[in-house]
Amino acid sequence: MHSAAPHVLVIIQNLPFRLDRRVRSECRALTDAGYRVSVICPQENPGEPARFKIDETTVHPYAPPPDSHGLAGYVREFVVSWWRTARASVRVHRDAPFQVIQACNPPDTYWLLALLWRLRRGVRFVYDQHDLCPEVYVAKFGRRGPLHRALLLLERATYRSADHVISTNGSYQAIAQGRGRVDPLRSSVVMSTPDADLMRRGELEPGARDQAKHLVAYVGIMGSQDGVDRLLAAVDHVVHQRGRTDVRFALLGFGDALADLRADCTRRGLDPWVHFTGRVDHAAIGRWLSSADLGVTPDPPSEFNDRSTMNKTLEYMAHELPVVASDLTETRNSAGAAAAYVAGTDPAALGDTILEILDDPGRARAMGAVGRARIEGELSWRRQAATYVGVFDGITGRTGTPAEAHA
C-alpha cells in the first residue's frame, strides 16, 4: 500500500452527508480500503462546525441558500451552492491536497469546478450520476424547451469532463454510453443497494401503528413526480371506498410538494390514517420500516421513473417488507418477486393491491424473504463496493487495497 493514502473529495448539493445513504456507503468503502475522504455538502442544521467527522469521513458543510421557487430561484440556488463549494474546495486542498473529485448530481454543474482543479493541479474527476436531470425536468414539468436543452448541455459537459462515470443501474449506463458517448472502459454500474449488515429489521418505532392492525410505509422525496399524490388517492380509496380503517400509512420524507400533500390529506379527511414524519434520519427510517407490514413505491410511469432504481424499494427489501410498486423496468429489475406490480396510474388499483398483500400474510412473508435474500446476495452492497473502490484504484494507479474492501 502507498505510504500516503490518496485523498478523494466528494461533492454533494442536494442532501447533507449524514442523510445520503448512497454516498455514506461509498465513502465508508473508500475509507475501509485505506483512502482519505472529505465531503463538501450543505449543512443539515444551522450552526454546525466548519469541519467534523462522520464515520472516518471529514465533512465540510456550507450554509445552503434559502429554499428556491421558480426558475430564477433555482438558478440562484445553483450559483450560490457552486460558489460556496468552490471556496470550500480551496480550503480542503490547502489542508490536504486531493487527487480525485467525485461530484454527485443533481445538479450537473460541478464539471466546471473539477475542470478548474484538473487544469491547476491535475486532479481527476469521477462523475457519480444519481439522476437523469433532463428526464427529471420533463417528469416534473411535463414539457421540454430551452431549459431542457440547457440541462442536456450540462449533462454532456459532465460526461465529457469525467475520467470515469458511475451509473446507478444499467439504464443510466446506457444513457451515458449512448447519449453521453462515454467509453465503456470509463463507465461502471454501482447500485445504491443498502449494506445488509447495517440495514435490517430491528428496533420498532414507538406508537407507529397507533392501534391500527396494519402499517404501510412510504420513504422518499415528496415532489410532483414522485407519486405521493397518487398514494394519497389510493389511501382515500382504501378508507372511504373499501371501508378499511384498520390500516395506517406512514409517509416518511420531505420535498417541495410536502405542504400541498398535507393539505390534500386533510381535504380528503385522511388525517386519522396518514402520518407525515417530515425529514427523518436513517435510524428513524429503520425503526419505521421495522414496524411496517408493507412498503409502497408509487412513482408514476414516465421515461425518468422507468429508467431509475428507487432507493425506497431497496430499503423496503432490506427490511423484509413486501413491496407494492408501479410497473417500471428498473423496479422489476431490482425487486423481482419481492414486489407486486400495478400497471398504469389508477389509484384504486394501487389501493386494492396494497390490501390484497396485507390480507395474505403468507404471501407477504414470502415476498419479504425474497427481497431480503436479494439484498444479501445478488444485489449486495459488498459487490457494489468492490466495483466502486476499483474505479478509484484504477484512476489513482493504486495497488494493494485491503482485500476485505473487495469481498
Domains of the chain: 7-193+380-406 (3.40.50.2000), 214-376 (3.40.50.2000)
pLDDT for residue 283? 93
Residues lower than pLDDT 70 in the chain: 1-3, 68-71, 399-407
pLDDT for residue 68? 67
pLDDT for residue 277? 95
Encode pLDDT of 266-277 as tens digits. Answer: 999 999 999 999
pLDDT for residue 30? 98
pLDDT for residue 404? 40
pLDDT for residue 139? 83
Residue 353: name the closest of 334, 366, 340 by CA: 340
- What residue ranges in 197-245 does DSSP mark as E strands? 214-219
pLDDT for residue 402? 43
CB distance 161 to 129 below 8 Å:
no
Encode pLDDT of 190-213 as tens digits. Answer: 999 999 999 999 999 999 998 999
- Identify the residue whose cell numbers are 466495483: 387
Three-state SS across 19-79? HCHHHHHHHHHHHHCCCEEEEEEECCCCCCCCCEEECCEEEEEECCCCCCCHHHHHHHHHH
CB distance 312 to 253 below 8 Å:
no
pLDDT for residue 69? 67
d(CA 309, CA 21): 14
Which distant-in-sequence residues (6+ apart) come within 8 Å of 325 by Cβ?
296, 297, 298, 310, 313, 331, 335, 339, 340, 341, 342
pLDDT for residue 80? 93
First to last CA, the chain: 18
- Does 106 sit behind a cis peptide bond, omega within 30 degrees of 0 on the bond before it? yes
pLDDT for residue 72? 75
What's the chain's length in residues? 407
C-alpha distances in angstroms, 261 versus 68, 254, 280, 290, 298? 18, 10, 17, 25, 14
